[in-house]
Copies of this chain bind each other. A is one copy, B any other.
Amino acid sequence: MAKGEDLDPAEMAVYFALLESGRLLQYALEQQIRRDGDLSFVQFQILAGLHLGTEHGRERMTDIADRVVYSRSGLTYQARELERRGLVERVPDPDDDRGTVVVITGAGRKLIGSILPDHQDVVREMLIDHLDPADAATLTRVLGELRDRMREQPPRSARPRRKPASS
């Protein structure tokens, strides 16, 4: 598969199927999250990650931004929104005086807890129940590898992490 050659139809099909199936699944989940918790998908990701993925419901701003693939200023906006609703608090990082730690509140845990059951039902209905075990394993392995690679190796077309030293 040399660079510069057209992708053949089968290759285009993988690409389109990946993007569109992900988008349709996310679209359905967005409706459910909005309906049950009045949260955007990104806000749900932030809260659910704090609730399920951390030891004490605490995470630094930068780590959250990396996790949800979000700009710093965008995350500040979302964190302010969540704080305004009493779902998280922002406190100074005791280990780094430049840092801010986001902490999920009891109200935040309660809200996520009220969203998750239906959320998992939707995931099951749309995705899990239609996969046989072998396909599920393949999907997990291949998509997981893809995700890990893309996380680590932004391609030449992605915005560089550091601004180029122009002078």
| A interface residues (Cβ-Cβ under 8 A, vs B) | 1, 3-7, 10-11, 13-15, 17-29, 31-32, 35, 69, 117-118, 120-131, 135-136, 138-140, 142-147, 149-151, 154-155, 157-159
Contact = CB atoms under 8 A, between A and B. Distances in A.
B31 A159 contact: yes
Contacts of A19: 22, 25-26
23 contacts: A1-B124, A6-B120, A7-B120, A7-B128, A11-B123, A15-B127, A15-B128, A17-B143, A17-B147, A18-B21, A18-B25, A20-B147, A21-B146, A21-B147, A24-B147, A28-B157, A35-B157, A125-B155, A126-B149, A130-B149, A131-B142, A138-B139, A138-B142
Nearest to A16: B147
Contacts of A157: 28-29, 31-32, 35, 118, 122
A28 B143 contact: no
Contact of A143 (B4, B14, B136): B14
B139 A126 contact: no
A14 B124 contact: no
B155 A15 contact: no
A146 B11 CA distance: 17
Across chains A and B, which 5 residue pairs bring their CB atoms closest together, nearest first?
A22-B22, A17-B143, A32-B157, A24-B150, A21-B147
Contacts of A27: 69, 158
Nearest to A33: B157
